[in-house]
Structures are given as C-alpha cells and as structure tokens.
Structure 1
Amino acid sequence: MTVTGIDMTASLKANERLHRLIPGGAHTYAKGDDQYPEDMAPVIARGEGATVWDVDGNRYLEYGSGLRSVSLGHAHPRVTEAVRRELGRGANFVRPSIIEAEAAERFLDTVSTADMVKFAKNGSDVTTAAVRLARAATGRPLVAICGDQPFFSTDDWFIGTTAMDGGIPRSISDLTVTFRYGDLAETEALLENYSGRIACLILEAATLREPPPGYLAGLRALTKRHGIVLVFDEMITGFRWSEAGAQGLYGVAPDLSTFGKALGNGFAVSALAGCRELMEQGGLRAGGERVFLLSTTHGAETHSLAAAMAVQATYVEEGITARLHALGERLAAGVREVAAAEGVGEHVVVRGRASNLVFATLDERGVPSQEYRTMFLRQLLGGGIIGPSFVVSSALTEEDVDRTVEVVAGACAVYRQALDAGDPLPWMGGRSVRPVFRRYV
C-alpha cells in the first residue's frame, strides 16, 4: 500500500548526489533523509512564505521551517529588504561596523534582563561560550545540563553525553552532569553532592511543558545560594514564547542566556546575552585575567545583523508571537478533533506550547513508535505537508491550517487501519525513520 500521486525522481537523484559529497547527505543531522520515509525525502528548490517546492516541482506546506528558525516564513519582505540594503554596503570589515552597535542596542531593548550581548553565527557557538565563561568566573570544572532536553551544542561538553559520543574522551564527558526538568529537590541534591564543583546550570526554561509553579524562581535561588551561573538556552523559546524569550514571559532573569534560530529568520545569527559583571570578563575593560569569550570572523556580518533587527521589529510591531500562538491553537484543536473522530486520539498526540507544537505517534500499547511515525509522515507528504513537527510560522494562513487538518484526518484514517491490522509495515513504504542520536547507522 503506497502513497500515490507524488513523483520524487529528482529528489532521489539529488539525495544520492548529496550523500556522495556531504557526510550524512545534509549539514544538519535533523535534516537527514533518515528522518523521512524511504524514498520520500524532498530536496528543496525554493521557499516562499509557508510554502516550499522540491526539485521535482512538488509543492508543500512546511512546518518546523528551517528547524524552527524561519518563524516569519521564507523570503519575508521586511527581512530580505534589510539584508539587501546592507549587502550593498559591504558585509565584513577589518573593524566593527556601526550596525553592530545598532543591533546590540535593539537586542538589549528587547531582552531587557541582559546588560550586554555578543553575536555569533550558530547556537553551539554561544552555548559553549556561556559554559566557558561560567567556568572562568567560578573556577569550577563541572557543567550541569537538563538531561531530559534534547540538544544544547555540537561541542564535546554536550555531545559526550549522547549516544553519538565517538571521538570524545571520557575525561571530557565526565565533566558534564545532568538533572531532571521540574524536580527542584533532585537538583538541590545534585548541587550538594557536587558542592563547589559545578560552574553552571544550563536548560531550556520551557519546552514541551510549562515550568511547574515556582520552579524557575527556585532554580534562580538555588544557583545564587551555591554560587552557580544560571544559563537559559532560548534557542527555541526566544521569540516563540515572547519577544524577550521565556525569561521575559516568566519573569526570571538568568545570569546568561543564548538566542538563535528565529533571531535571523533563517540568516545565520546567534547571541550570548547576560549581566555586565560576567560578560565584561570577555572584554577589554574589566582588568584581571582575560577570558576568550567569542571571536568569530563572521559573527557580525552586517546582513545577518540587519536581518535580526528586522525580525525583532516585525515581532514587536506586528504581534507575531500572538499570531504564532493563535495558529498553533487552531492546528492543535483541529488535529485533536480529527484524531479523535478516526479513533486514534490516544495514538496521534499533539504536545507542547501552541507556538511550538510537536506530535507523538504511539503504537497499540501507547508506546512511541518510529514505525507509526514513518507511516504518518508518509501520508502527510503525500498530501502536500512536510511536517517533522507541527511548529507553525506566521506565514501560514487559517486556510493553510485547515487544509493541514484535512490531510491529517486522512492520515489518521490510515493510522486506524494499521492499528486494527496490528502492523504499520504495509503503509510504511520501506524502512522506518530513525532517531537522530543513535550509536550505529
């Protein structure tokens, strides 16, 4: 049993070409063709708004755009115009450009809990810089990460804790310890157990579930009591929770925070922000021993900073965060309704904040299943929806969301058939999708 009416011949050839030239066939593992059903991994030719076209000419509504980075939609006019304007003035110079001061002022006006900011190109740059700064400021070796959150960095201090820890010495991995989200008592016990050795706690302040009442404030108090730097990773929560991120929404200010993804609407820009006392240790005016905080040739390319400024202005002036929530609420309600109507409401499960929705695919026993995910994704793709998640962009219309729900309804009907048969294999079209973090190919 296959999905018909979609020709992906050119994408298949392009994927082979990519694998010959690029390890993994993509520059980000989460974009790999192993994340999609066999022979149904589109290679994108272009995008506009919430729509993308693959190299075969197939058209899709896109969710999770750019791994959550393109929250305004592709080729957003305010962003592209700002970028074009700066490209005509030059992209990189031997000294700072005035736009670096302008972009910093704009960012700090938005994220008012921070005193200083330094820009880079990707999230790993700035999370690793936060860890280094915390270690330097405290003189302590250990990093405590939230162990039930999926990703913080491509660097050794994090990747050494995953199943893909090849090439990372055990001595490095042993410097990272973990704590569970939402469990203050366990975290306090961890801090006591490693008393005087933990430099920082790093976590996403919220992801699939809201923080328990008092949790973030409790972490803030714990870290102050133990002399530990509190770091919020705002890669996802930045802009999607509020223009000032989770810290702006929940009113708890970390010592350091990191932003990226939505900040540039697809252009490469990230930010490390924090209190002056810490940030100046990576500067020239604090005195004392210097910290190599961040020094990147391309960290302040003018066009990326222009994109960031345009994104922030658009979010504030057009109420983008509220729109993302409204679209997500419409989508979540529609998916839950059609899943229930097809008798799979306990198997196709929508989770997360409305602006950051994901879905779970559960088998007959209610256990997460890659096989059922494969089948579900295959039906979505056949219906013109590319959706590794249900994360919305503001470029979607209500009509787009309703069309998505119609496609999901058809996928849920097939899901019901597979559950009744006790086997999704006839609807999978080949091998199952695979987790990104796994030890073997």
Structure 2
Amino acid sequence: MPEQERSFALSNRAQAFLHEMVPGGAHTNARGSDQYPELMAPIIARGDGARVLDVDGNWFVEYGAGLKSVTLGHGYDPIVRRVCEAASSGVNFTRPSVWELRAAERFLDMVPTAEMVKFAKNGSDVTTAAVKLARAATGRDLIAVCRTQPFFSVDDWFIGTTSMPTGIPDAVRELTVSFDFNDLDSLKDVLAKHPGQIAGIMLEPATGTREPQAGFLEGVRELADGHGAVLIFDEMICGMRWSSAGAQAVYGVTPDLSTWGKALGNGFSISALAGKRDLMERGGLNTDASRVFLLSNTHGAETTGLAAYLAVADVYTERDVVAEIEAAGQKLQMALLDVIEKAGVSDYLSVFGRPSALVFGTLDAAGKPSQPYRTLLLQELLRHGVLCQSLVISAAHSDDDIAVTIEAFRRASEVYARAIESGTTDGYLSGRPVAPAIREFAAPRRLEV
C-alpha cells in the first residue's frame, strides 16, 4: 500500500497567522518558514523523545531539536519532574533561592576549569557579558571573533558584522574585528593591525564540521596571553555534546571565560557565563575596581531553568550521554552514507561532521553548493517523516527512529539522483528554495493557503 501523502494545511494556515502577528513568523530566525520547503513547514503541537507531532497529525523523527538544545529527548520525565517540583515551590523570588546555590555548586564541580559561574536565560546575554568583562579588564574596546563561525550573539557588537547590520551604528560595527578558524596567522595579523587594542578573542573551540588542528587552540591561548587579551570560548554547542565539561576539557586548553547554554537544560531556558575569579568578580562585590553591570535581570535565576540543569547534570553523571549520542551518530552516518552511495549520488550528497553534530552537504549537478538541492532533500525527507535542518542527534534517537531516517534518506536520495541526472530541481521541487537565515533582504514568500 503506498504511503499516504502528508497534509500541511493546518500548519500552513497557522504559519500565515503567525506572519500576521509575529515579525518573521517565528521567534528565532533558524526556525523560520523560509528555512523549510514552501508550504511544508510544520507547526509543532508536541514532542515525545526524538519525535514531534504537528497540528496536522503528522509525526516526524526530528533532528537538531530545539536548535541543538535537547540532548535527552522531548518530555524527558526526570527533567520534567524536577522542573515541576521547582515550579510548585515558586518560580521567582526577591532574594536568591537554594536552586542558585545548588546549580552553581554543580556546575563548578562539572566544569573544573571554571572558578565562578553566573546563570542567565539565553546565550546572547552571556556572550555579551563576556565581552563587557574583557573590555573592563583590559581597558580596550575591540573584540576579535572567528568569522568562519556563524553566530555569537543577537547584540549589536556581533550582528553588526553580519549581512544584517541595519539599525546598528557604524561606530559599533567598527569595534568588532575578525579572524579565521584554524588560521593562527590571520589572528596574528588582526593583533598586529590593532596593537594593544584587542580586549577579547572569542571563538567556538570546535564545530560539528571543523575540529581544531593540532596546536591551533594552544596557539590562540598563547597569542591571547602575549597580547594581554581575554580568551573566550563559546561552548553553546560543544558544552554537553563534546563533554559535560565542554570542548575545553576535550582539547585541554582553558579559556579565561566560557559561555554556555542550549543543552544545559535539555531545552529549558538557561545559560551560563563561567571563568576565572579575577575576571568574574569585576561584576561582583569583591572588587576595588569599577564594577561591570553583569547579568542582572529579573528572570536570570528563575527556578525552573536551574532545576532543569540540575536534572540534566544528574543524568550525565548516571549515564555517559555523550558516548550514547556519538554512538548513535556514528551508526546513522554509516547507514546514510551507504544509502547515498547505492543511489549513486555520493559526489553530490554527503553526511559529515562530528557524530554528535552531523550535517549534510548538498551539491548541484556541477558540484557546487546548492540551496535548491538542499530544499529538495528537505522536501523529500519531510514527505517521508523526517524533520531536520541538519542531523544533530540526541540520546533519545532509538533504533526505530534511525530506521525511519534511513528509509526516508533512501527515498529522498532516489529523487535527488533523478534531479542530478536532469541537471536541475525544476519539476522536482514544489516551491521556492530555502534561504540563509541571516541575510539582508527577505525573499518573496507565498502565504495564501
């Protein structure tokens, strides 16, 4: 019996309403409907483990859950129970709660390279706080960021460097300079061009697709020390995926400050700024220096996020979650590469990266990166029950989930092969191609459903 065609009618109607009420139709650019095949962007009703149900009644195996924030699965009972326990005793108070004490103790035990920690609700808050500390400690203005890594903050100091700088003064944009990952010479050039002006150097120690070359992180550490700059590691993705102590523990290089988020709370809102005591205390009370206004917000220590982190930390202590994720990722990658090879499209479709943070590459018939072919792959995967922008896996992905994914890729690869043979996605792609999440102009979209 042929597979029943999936309907997205209710999702499309809901998405149209969202566009009327919410700029961009979503609260995160990467979640936007422009990131998915046209009129095939599910609106999620609920999740269970590694699967999600949309408002049309379609179940999907989902990857990259919560933009890489969910490592244990949707609705994971130990997390939910701990959060409910915290919420039932109050969510926000006039004074610090015991949850703040417990979470700080646990974090510093789990991340021994850090001496102090302060929690917040999102990643941008803590990366910007790290920038302020670096500037305060050095008396300098410039921040050097890795330009070959896509995102560090929604705040002006970083967004001014992207293709969406509208609304950000030129004077602010000029305060951020950049270098390349795995290229010490490019960092040396920036430091030489701006002698004594670089307050901080910020980078992800690794990404899903790029490991640090031997000696690179050590070289960055040495350059930061030699030029009196603060070294900041963005551990948003690596933290809890590379290890519970972050990529800094994996590669053996300790930053001055590190920023955390995403998987800390298995999808609940919590982030953290951690690092050396002398820097962190610039935002505290034990300092004789001018104080930094550091992460002071109403919801920074809201109890449910802290409770979620503590529950996640318990699971990571009881189980080797990272090993589970990497084993599942390796299994998935090997199976998909086999499927792609059998379809004859290995030269055009690939699955690569760290097993805990896999991505897929889509090339056109000329061997060039292609948004239309990426859209075609996403379209066919959605039709066969897989929702993904990448293949970032979790410990919740079961053998059955992986089997569904393999079959969906098998069918998608067959269509991809026909499109490659045709030299075009015309006739195969139902709507407009997806577009980069960060871009200056909005592409035309069709909302009538």
Question: Would you call these one fold, judging by a TM-score over 0.5?
Answer: yes
Residue aligning to 2:447? none
Residue aligning to 2:111? 111
Are positions 1:352 and 2:353 aligned together? yes
Deviation digits for residues 405-441 of structure 1 (CA, Å, limit 9, x no counterpart): 1110111111110000111121110111111111111
Shift of 1:398: 2.0
Residue aligning to 2:446? none
* C-alpha distance in 2 between matches for 1:168 and 1:350: 37
Residue aligning to 1:229? 230
Residue aligning to 2:93? 93
1:328-347 map, 5 Å: 328-347=329-348
Q: Return the letter of the residue paired with 2:359.
A: V
* C-alpha distance in 2 between matches for 1:258 and 1:310: 20
Q: Return the letter of the residue paired with 1:326.
A: A
**Given the two structures, how large is their TM-score scaled by the length of structure 2?**
0.97
Residue aligning to 1:394? 395
* C-alpha distance in 2 between matches for 1:140 and 1:371: 44
* C-alpha distance in 1 between matches for 2:332 and 2:349: 13
* C-alpha distance in 1 between matches for 2:399 and 2:342: 21
Residue aligning to 1:326? 327
Deviation digits for residues 59-115 of structure 1 (CA, Å, limit 9, x no counterpart): 000000000011111011110011011011100100000110110000111111000
Q: Return the letter of the residue paired with 1:198.
A: I
1:191-202 map, 5 Å: 191-202=191-202
CA RMSD in angstroms comes to 0.9
* C-alpha distance in 2 between matches for 1:216 and 1:71: 26
Residue aligning to 1:128? 128
Q: Is the 1:4–1:382 contact (alpha carbons within 8 Å) kept by the matching residues of 2?
A: no
Q: Return the letter of the residue paired with 1:275.
A: K
Residue aligning to 1:412? 413
Shift of 1:320: 0.5
Q: Return the letter of the residue paired with 1:438.
A: R
Shift of 1:294: 1.1
Are positions 1:275 and 2:276 aligned together? yes
Shift of 1:303: 1.0
Shift of 1:189: 2.1
Deviation digits for residues 138-182 of structure 1 (CA, Å, limit 9, x no counterpart): 000100000000000000011001111100011111111000000
* C-alpha distance in 2 between matches for 1:311 and 1:406: 32
Residue aligning to 2:311? 310
Shift of 1:358: 0.9
Q: Which runs of 4+ in 1 moved over 3 A?
A: none
Q: Is the 1:349–1:360 contact (alpha carbons within 8 Å) kept by the matching residues of 2?
A: yes
Q: Return the letter of the residue paired with 1:266.
A: G
Instruction: Provide structure 1 residue ranges, at least 5 long, that are not aligned to the other structure.
Output: none
* C-alpha distance in 1 between matches for 2:144 and 2:440: 23
* C-alpha distance in 1 between matches for 2:380 and 2:58: 15
Q: Return the letter of the residue paired with 1:347.
A: Y
* C-alpha distance in 2 between matches for 1:157 and 1:356: 27
Are positions 1:253 and 2:254 aligned together? yes
Q: Return the letter of the residue paired with 1:74.
A: H
Residue aligning to 1:81? 81
Shift of 1:4: 6.4
Residue aligning to 1:421? 422
* C-alpha distance in 1 between matches for 2:434 and 2:193: 40
% same residue: 54
Q: Is the 2:61–2:404 contact (alpha carbons within 8 Å) kept by the matching residues of 1?
A: no
* C-alpha distance in 2 between matches for 1:336 and 1:51: 23
Q: Is the 1:49–1:76 contact (alpha carbons within 8 Å) kept by the matching residues of 2?
A: yes
Q: Return the letter of the residue paired with 2:383.
A: G
* C-alpha distance in 2 between matches for 1:189 and 1:24: 38
* C-alpha distance in 2 between matches for 1:240 and 1:247: 12
* C-alpha distance in 2 between matches for 1:156 and 1:424: 38
* C-alpha distance in 2 between matches for 1:31 and 1:186: 33
* C-alpha distance in 2 between matches for 1:425 and 1:102: 57
Deviation digits for residues 250-298 of structure 1 (CA, Å, limit 9, x no counterpart): 1110000000000011111000000001000100011221111110110
Residue aligning to 1:27? 27
Q: Return the letter of the residue paired with 2:179.
A: F
* C-alpha distance in 1 between matches for 2:314 and 2:194: 43
* C-alpha distance in 2 between matches for 1:65 and 1:425: 31
Matched position secondary structure for 2:240:
helix
Matched position secondary structure for 2:134:
helix
Q: Is the 2:147–2:178 contact (alpha carbons within 8 Å) kept by the matching residues of 1?
A: yes
Matched position secondary structure for 2:313:
helix
Shift of 1:346: 1.7
* C-alpha distance in 2 between matches for 1:148 and 1:13: 37
Q: Is the 2:376–2:425 contact (alpha carbons within 8 Å) kept by the matching residues of 1?
A: yes
Matched position secondary structure for 2:118:
strand
Residue aligning to 1:150? 150
Q: Is the 2:385–2:404 contact (alpha carbons within 8 Å) kept by the matching residues of 1?
A: no
Q: Is the 1:371–1:425 contact (alpha carbons within 8 Å) kept by the matching residues of 2?
A: no
Q: Return the letter of the residue paired with 2:436.
A: P
Are positions 1:173 and 2:158 aligned together? no
Matched position secondary structure for 1:190:
helix
Q: Return the letter of the residue paired with 1:277.
A: D
